[in-house]
Amino acid sequence: MSANLTPPADLDVRALRDLCEQLAREAGALIVDGRPDDLGVASTKSSATDVVTVMDQRSQDLVRERLAAARPRDAFYGEEEGGASGESGLTWVVDPIDGTVNYLYGLPAYSVSVAAVIGDPATDGAWRPVAGAVVNPVSGECYVAALGEGATLQVGDGPRRTLRVAEPESLGQTLVATGFGYEAGRRRWQAAILAEVLGDVRDIRRLGSAALDLCRVADGTVDAFYERGLNAWDLAAGWLVVTEAGGVVDDGTGADPRTAMVLAAAPRTHAALGARLRSAIAVVGEGD
Ligand code: IPD
Ligand code: CA
């Protein structure tokens, strides 16, 4: 870890984790309870299918307001409009609804992701998470992690279970989650890579929330996850949940996960799938 990404020794990562959890739970309740009957698309971003609902912005605004009161010296970086700079060196990275298309359609596979990070989350490779929480407000799953403190899953009011990644016997036995971006050219590349890899793994899952996909690697309900095109808000909390559960998260080449690629799995599976992805990229091309 480079020096400027080393958290200060007195950083209370447990307190940050607890705040991540509190905020993700509160925003999760808001998007379920406050969902309008006539929910529609409020606006679009990178393409016509990259949608924002009124609840994405409301969820982010809620978290942003809470943080402005509780942590006024920290910066804020969210998927929707309204960032803020800070002076503490800590930035809150928030995906107010990860899996917005599932949310729009009423598919119960979406989440709120809240993380505290050191460094600059707008720059690939220049930041690291120190605490995070991912909440699926429909299933009641709440994944949390703090640097050096492990990762847990609590479902509803149940006990907190310490998470450990699963290591399947071989690449052929590996259940792989992945996702697709919103731009047509990117998707064609992703489909071509998938066509290369599909015959060599157990099967593929496309669940629709990258933050939850990462947490599923951590709890062993999938064996691995890869995707090109993620942003810090998709990744920040889930990255830490996986590494604190004993997994490896990188860009497939040993460097920090970045927009070009995020690959997460238990160590041996990570190495095998990383090699398979690199050979797929050699056949398909680097893409954009
Ligand atoms: C998306 C989801 C999806 C992934 C996309 C993300 P959003 O986030 O995480 O699973 O495949 O790349 O953009 O738009 O629902 O917040
Ligand atoms: Ca997202």
- Of 188, 194, 165, 180, nearest in space to 276 by CA: 194
Which atom of ligand 1 is least distant from the CA of 178? Answer: 11
Which domains are present in the chain?
A: 3-162 (3.30.540.10), 171-284 (3.40.190.80)
Q: Establish whether residue 137 lines the binding site of ligand 1, counting it when its CB lies within 6 angstroms of any ligand atom.
A: no
Taking only the tens of pLDDT, the chain with its 288 residues reads 454 799 999 999 999 999 999 999 999 999 999 988 888 888 888 888 877 788 999 999 999 999 999 999 999 999 988 888 999 999 999 999 999 999 999 999 999 999 999 999 999 999 999 999 999 999 999 999 999 999 999 999 999 999 999 899 999 999 999 999 999 999 999 999 999 999 999 999 999 999 999 999 999 999 999 999 999 999 999 999 999 999 999 999 999 999 999 999 999 999 999 999 999 999 999 998
- For position 209, what pLDDT does the model report? 98
Q: What are the C-alpha distances in Å from 216 to residues 48, 167, 174, 184? A: 29, 13, 13, 27
- For position 1, what pLDDT does the model report? 45
Q: Establish whether residue 141 lines the binding site of ligand 1, counting it when its CB lies within 6 angstroms of any ligand atom.
A: no
Q: How many CB atoms lie within 10 A of CB 44?
A: 12
Ligand found nearest the CA of 103: 1
Tokens linked to 81? 């409009």
Which atom of ligand 1 is least distant from the CA of 100? Answer: 15
Tokens linked to 260? 């070009």
- For position 63, what pLDDT does the model report? 97
Report the Cα–Cα distance between both ends of the chain, in Å, rounded: 28
Q: What is the pTM assigned to this prediction?
A: 0.96
Tokens linked to 168? 């399947």
Q: What are the C-alpha distances in Å from 31 to residues 137, 165, 228? A: 8, 29, 27
- Residue of 209, 212, 222, 233 to mutate, ligand 1, most atoms within 8 A of C-beta: 209
